[in-house]
Amino acid sequence: MQAELARAEAVRAAMPEGGMFAAKDWLVAPEPFALSEKFVDELEKLGYRLHLFVRACNLLYQQSIKGRQPAWVADYLDRGKPPELLEASRAKALRDEIPRVIRPDIILTENGFVLSELDNVPGGIGLTGWLGETYAAHGFDVVGGAAGMADGFRAILPGGAKILVSEEAATYRPEMEWLATRLGAGYGVERAEDFDPATSSSVFRFFELFDLPNLPSSAALMQASAEGRATVTPPFKPQLEEKMWFALFWSHPLRDFWRRELSERHWLKLREVIPQTWIMDPAPLPHFGVIPGLEIQDWNELSDFTHKQREIIVKISGFHEKAWGARGVVLGSDVSHNDWRGTVSSALEAFPAHPYIAQRFMKGRLVQQRYVDPQTGELRTMQGRVRLCPYYFVSGGKTQLGGVLSTVCPADKKLLHGMKDAIISPCHVVRES
């Protein structure tokens, strides 16, 4: 017991001056979250499948704008975006570019796991790297290894890069500054608002694309990227950052495309972990039509669902300040009937410029994780639900699992994200005897 308390204290003491997140804190665990070898192997396979999926998303959008796939695909994905950004995203130099970091949010359930979404501009890269290095120093076999996150990042932007962090994302600047120290010469962090594109042709973009009007040099950087004079990842492709991709994955008219591009085997595997999702398009259906899985003809019928039926998440799809960081996410069973009605109504009204999605809510199973009570200094056990965030680095056509971040939230929390009463740790592999 004393050894475990001492280890947790050593982890906290190892925190860099200024922390990893601006004005953020969490509960410290004496050991990482445990994963079996079999599960880690499954995560490795998931990384390959998600790489195929993101590549297929990129292809589907291109074929849609060329008329080889339904035009409504691009119409959905382009809503609300400025013309100059869409033009840059379609540049020939960017045709095959996809995000070089893929991070799904994984919820462990009673029957396995599900993906709640993909984040192509993910926070936590530096934090996961620091946690992995710190716990590995205490003898734990952390997923990805002690330097997995830094090695993975270095592989996607070899030779150096500027990491641009906007004021909108300033909370994450400390972790990126720590990461830069581990990457070595040629890597550094700058305020996106102050960046001069003439100083670097290799950039990691840690700012959301809706924030471009606040970044003086964004037009020049976007042009350099579109002309092939600069490497920017994630690329200036707002269509790839939409949450509606899960709904398009479930779209019946697109089924043959997904099966062909993913292969039957990988398509079936992804159907097991991607929850059914719908684009909240208020267009009327014919009298015999229903929205599959919900069995309603009109989205307004969703407003009248009972509390038990409202195990549904509603959230904005993308390109909006509420589309990241768990902002604006509403779980129907967590709010009153009037609030739910207002949520549905607002989502439908926003459709022309900012489409919303509805997604089947999958409840996380209960897990147990130990932590140190910051008030008493005692070792306690939390019964909670966990979100896992594996970080896949895409380089040379291959995916590398750099690490896995675990966030264990109290059992009464249904939306799982970083909070001061959550236990945050890396994951380690429990070897089979």
Q: What is the pLDDT of residue 20?
A: 84
Q: Which two tokens stand for residue 249?
A: 């994955």
Contacts of 76 (CB under 8 A, 6+ apart): 242, 244, 248, 279, 281, 355
Quick one: what percent of the chain has pLDDT higher than 90? 84
Q: What is the pLDDT of residue 21?
A: 79
Residue 250 is assigned to a structural domain of this protein: no
Q: Is the pLDDT of residue 396 over 60?
A: yes
Length of the chain in residues, anyone?
Answer: 433
In CATH, what number is assigned to the domain containing residue 294?
Answer: 3.30.1490
Span 188-202, pLDDT tens digits:
999 999 999 989 999
Beta strands 101-109; 112-119: pairing state:
antiparallel
Q: How many domains does the chain have?
A: 2
The residue segments making up the domain with residue 325 are: 278-360
Q: What is the pLDDT of residue 120?
A: 84
Q: What is the pLDDT of residue 423?
A: 95
Q: What is the pLDDT of residue 135?
A: 97
Is there a single domain that holds both residue 239 and residue 283? no
Tell me if 317 sits within 8 A of 244, measured CB to CB: yes
Is there a single domain that holds both residue 282 and residue 141? no
Q: Is the pLDDT of residue 178 over 80?
A: yes
Query: Which of these three, 306, 326, 360, is where a domain ends?
Result: 360
Q: Which two tokens stand for residue 379?
A: 């070792």
Is there a single domain that holds both residue 381 and residue 333? no
Quick one: what percent of the chain has pLDDT higher than 70? 97
Going from the C-alpha of 166 to that of each of 23, 169, 319, the distances in angstroms are 17, 5, 15
Q: What is the pLDDT of residue 22?
A: 66
Is there a single domain that holds both residue 286 and residue 351? yes
Is there a single domain that holds both residue 178 and residue 325? no
- Adjacent-strand bridge partners of 393: 101, 400
Residue 254 is assigned to a structural domain of this protein: no
Span 270-326, pLDDT tens digits:
999 999 999 999 999 999 999 999 999 999 999 999 999 999 999 999 877 775 666
Tell me if 121 sits within 8 A of 241, measured CB to CB: yes
Residue 399 is assigned to a structural domain of this protein: yes
Cβ atoms within 10 Å of 263's Cβ, excluding its own: 13
Contacts of 196 (CB under 8 A, 6+ apart): 217
Q: What is the pLDDT of residue 415?
A: 64
Query: Which of these three, 330, 360, 390, is where a domain ends?
Result: 360
Tell me if 427 sits within 8 A of 406, measured CB to CB: yes
Higher pLDDT, 20 or 152: 152
pLDDT (mean) for 4-32: 86
Mean pLDDT across the chain, nearest whole number?
93
What DSSP line would sit under 161-180, residue for residue? EEEEE-GGGGGGHHHHHHHH
3-state secondary structure of 424: strand
Sign of the alpha-carbon dihedral angle for 242, 243, 247, 249: positive
Span 154-175, pLDDT tens digits:
999 999 999 999 999 999 999 9
Is there a single domain that holds both residue 223 and residue 314? no
pLDDT-derived band at 424 (thresholds 50, 70, 90) equals: very high
Q: What is the pLDDT of residue 153?
A: 97
pLDDT (mean) for 136-146: 96
CA distance 238 to 29: 37
Tell me if 167 sits within 8 A of 117, measured CB to CB: no
Q: Is the pLDDT of residue 240 over 90?
A: yes
Q: Is the pLDDT of residue 23 over 60?
A: no
- The residue type found at 178 is W
Span 34-93, pLDDT tens digits:
999 999 999 999 999 999 999 999 999 999 999 999 999 999 999 999 999 999 999 999
- Burial of residue 194 (CB within 10 Å: 0-12, 13-18, 19+) is exposed
Is there a single domain that holds both residue 311 and residue 178? no
Is there a single domain that holds both residue 43 and residue 170? yes
Distinct helix (H) and strand (E) counts, the chain = 12, 15
Q: What is the pLDDT of residue 17?
A: 81
pLDDT-derived band at 371 (thresholds 50, 70, 90) equals: very high
Q: What is the pLDDT of residue 47?
A: 97
Is there a single domain that holds both residue 369 and residue 389? yes
Q: Of 60, 33, 116, whose CA–CA distance to 251 is shortest?
A: 60
Q: What is the pTM of this model?
A: 0.95
CA distance 95 to 81: 18
